[in-house]
Amino acid sequence: MMSKNLLLFNPGSGQKFIPAIVPEGVRKIPVTVGSVGAEPVLTKLQTTLQYLYRAGFRDVEAHVTRDYMDVVDKCKAAVGRRVDTVFVFGGDGTVNAALSILRNTGIALGVLPGGTANVFARFLHIPLTVDDAVSVLQQKRRMKVDIGACNGDYFGCVAGMGFDAWVIKHTPQRVRAIIGNLSFIITAFRAIAKYRFKKFRVIIDDKEFDAFSVIVQNGPYYGGDVVFTPDASLTDGYLDCIVFKDKRVATLFHYLWAVRRKQQPDTSRAQIVKARTISIPDTSVYYHLDGEPREKKPVTISVEPHALNVYAGEGVKA
């Protein structure tokens, strides 16, 4: 019999898993584990399934996922089978893989925070521990949220062009897995000396700007709980685009300080623009989507309004 719901469980990027089949599930919930190498992973998975079971999600098929493409493939199969909900335990990279496939299918995405930054979970007001997160999902508050499209790929949290993309690209995956966000900060400070800021043109709807870095946000937070775009809404049909026009690092601090004090930053240095489309014709700009570095190429971004069905916590504006 086919299960109504799917749980995709990403125990942590950068870890190695030895293929093995685990014959038993929790309370006769079918569990097919593609690859498991460590006992704690299984324990964590079983605990997660137990929370879901207690919350009334009794028909759940679970898979431990190996990598990004594995999540993509499992979601494609879920779409073919018309499951009701895909629960994803993982970070923003795992969520990215899932939403890329689940967009415009009506299948609900239930995010269980299992990463380091969990930005998408924060956007949705989902608590950062699994048991609390499941309690929120239990309320079955479903809504449709916007996502961003970029060069045929998708993002739920952020697209970054320029400095932050360079930092992400040059932070080794295994370092990220071990020390999380701290690794970006370390790399960022090293990068200030090494990175060669280059001015590029960005076209936002019908306006043109010169920028050294551009960050496109779908919601308010960046990298964790830092508020970058306080007015960003997941449902307004716009992306909030920050244009950094000045290459000094002090500009970033100036910007964040202004945002914190609910003031406008000096627009000769940085500016937030609500956008439906953003394009950067330059071919040599680094970019990332939800923290995953992509091949350098000209960037075309648009918003897909209300494309993704999600479970959300209280207070997310519909």
- Applying CB under 5 A, the residues found at the interface with Mg ion are 233, 236, 238
Residue 19 DSSP one-character state: B
State the minimum distance, in angstroms, from the CB of residue 314 to Mg ion. 19
Q: Which is nearer to Mg ion, 78 or 259 (CB)?
A: 259
CA 304 to chain centre: 15
Q: Which one, of 11, 10, 53, lies nearest residue 30 by Cα?
A: 53
User: What gap in Å lies between CA 68 and CA 56, rounded to an integer?
Assistant: 28
Q: Which is nearer to Mg ion, 51 or 155 (CB)?
A: 155
State the minimum distance, in angstroms, from the CB of residue 149 to Mg ion. 13
Tokens encoding 270: 């940085």
Q: Which is nearer to Mg ion, 276 or 297 (CB)?
A: 276
User: What gap in Å lies between CA 241 and CA 229, rounded to an integer?
Assistant: 8
State the minimum distance, in angstroms, from the CB of residue 24 to Mg ion. 44
State the minimum distance, in angstroms, from the CB of residue 305 to Mg ion. 9
State the minimum distance, in angstroms, from the CB of residue 304 to Mg ion. 11
Q: Which is nearer to Mg ion, 11 or 313 (CB)?
A: 313
User: What gap in Å lies between CA 20 and CA 16, rounded to an integer?
Assistant: 12
Q: Which is nearer to Mg ion, 108 or 232 (CB)?
A: 232
State the minimum distance, in angstroms, from the CB of residue 217 to Mg ion. 8
Beta partners for 15?
A: none
Q: At 85, which helix (H) or strand (E)?
A: strand 85-90
Look at phi and psi of residue 141 and say left if phi exceeds 0, alpha if psi is from -120 to 50, else beta: beta
Beta partners for 61?
A: 6
Q: Which is nearer to Mg ion, 67 or 304 (CB)?
A: 304
